[in-house]
Amino acid sequence: MSAEDTLKQVAEEVSVCTKCPLHHSRKKSVPGEGPANAQIMFIGEGPGFYENEQGRPFVGASGKFLDELLGAAGLKREKVFIGNVVKCRPPGNRDPMPEEIATCGDYLERQIAAINPKVIVTLGRYSMGRFLPNAKISAVHGQSFQANGRLIVPMYHPAAALHQPSLKADVERDFASLPALMGKAKDAPGYEEEKKEEEPQPPEEKPQPKQLSLF
Ligand code: URA
Ligand code: SF4
């Protein structure tokens, strides 16, 4: 199955999923969105009020801030994949429970396997916990960790940063370092570049080696 078809399939399953108790209170589940060949994925916690209404990730206040952060890092929202560790809104925006995260994790794993991004940015503790279970966010935010041939970059959640000015400066600095980290990920061993569905290009004309003249 192509990466695109896998993403569609996951989104269809998520839209009618009843595997965990979060389905009772959701209005719309939020599978996440972005192109199948995205080089970077942003994984948040779970849908909030507006996401639950619209079925789209990060469309409320956190989303507005995320859009600003992406813009400052030179990234276009439509070129990145944005998702969450749980696809249905926890009632009253409570924290997702470990069993809910584990149950929903299968969808996230299939999305990651299909997209095979170079970089995964985790937003907040719950998302970080899926990839770096023993890390402390205050100690590791903005750093990058190699895992399965890609880089995991934990960051503070935009909602937390909106409420705490000191975290806001941190998250802005961490996002600003993303272009350099993406360059680093490209050079990392184990990453397979071949993800784009582009027309085959004719081979480039090689410049002839120039004869060096001493005079
Ligand atoms: N917060 C999240 O973690 N995810 C969203 O989609 C929106 C807000
Ligand atoms: Fe299914 Fe995930 Fe929604 Fe739970 S949160 S009902 S596992 S899609």
User: What does the alpha-carbon distance between residue 144 and residue 182 come to, in Å, rounded to a whole number?
Assistant: 10
Per-residue pLDDT at 189: 55
Per-residue pLDDT at 43: 98
Distance 46 CA to ligand 1 centre (A): 5
Q: What is the pLDDT of residues 6-30, one digit of tens each?
A: 999 999 999 999 999 999 999 999 9
Strands (E), the chain: 40-44, 81-84, 119-123, 145-147, 150-155
102-116, 118-132, 187-201: range with lowest mean pLDDT: 187-201
Per-residue pLDDT at 212: 43
pLDDT band at 182 (very low <50, low <70, confident <90, very high): confident
In this predicted structure, the answer to whether residue 194 has a pLDDT above a threshold of 60 is no
If one counts every other C-beta atom within 10 angstroms of the C-beta of residue 36, the result is 18
Distance 135 CA to ligand 2 centre (A): 25
User: What does the alpha-carbon distance between residue 30 and residue 209 come to, in Å, rounded to a whole number?
Assistant: 55
The verdict on the CB of residue 51 being under 6 Å from ligand 1 is: yes
Per-residue pLDDT at 188: 58
The verdict on the CB of residue 83 being under 6 Å from ligand 1 is: no
User: What does the alpha-carbon distance between residue 153 and residue 174 come to, in Å, rounded to a whole number?
Assistant: 9
Q: Please give the domain boundaries of the chain with CATH numbers for all domains.
A: 3-184 (3.40.470.10)
In this predicted structure, the answer to whether residue 200 has a pLDDT above a threshold of 90 is no
Say which amino acid occupies 60. G
Q: Classify residue 186 by its DSSP letter.
A: H
pLDDT band at 195 (very low <50, low <70, confident <90, very high): very low
The verdict on the CB of residue 170 being under 6 Å from ligand 1 is: no
pLDDT band at 213 (very low <50, low <70, confident <90, very high): very low
Per-residue pLDDT at 148: 86
Ligand nearest to the CA of 122: 1
Per-residue pLDDT at 173: 96
pLDDT band at 187 (very low <50, low <70, confident <90, very high): low
Per-residue pLDDT at 108: 98
Per-residue pLDDT at 21: 98
pLDDT band at 39 (very low <50, low <70, confident <90, very high): very high
Q: What is the pLDDT of residues 55-101, one digit of tens each?
A: 999 999 999 999 999 999 999 999 999 999 999 999 999 999 999 99
Q: What is the pLDDT of residues 134-171, one digit of tens each?
A: 999 999 999 999 998 899 999 999 999 999 999 999 99
Q: Give me the residues paired with residue 123 across strands.
A: 155
pTM (2 d.p.):
0.88
CA 103 to each of CA 7, 62, 145: distance values in angstroms, whole numbers, following the listed order: 18, 25, 25
The verdict on the CB of residue 14 being under 6 Å from ligand 2 is: yes
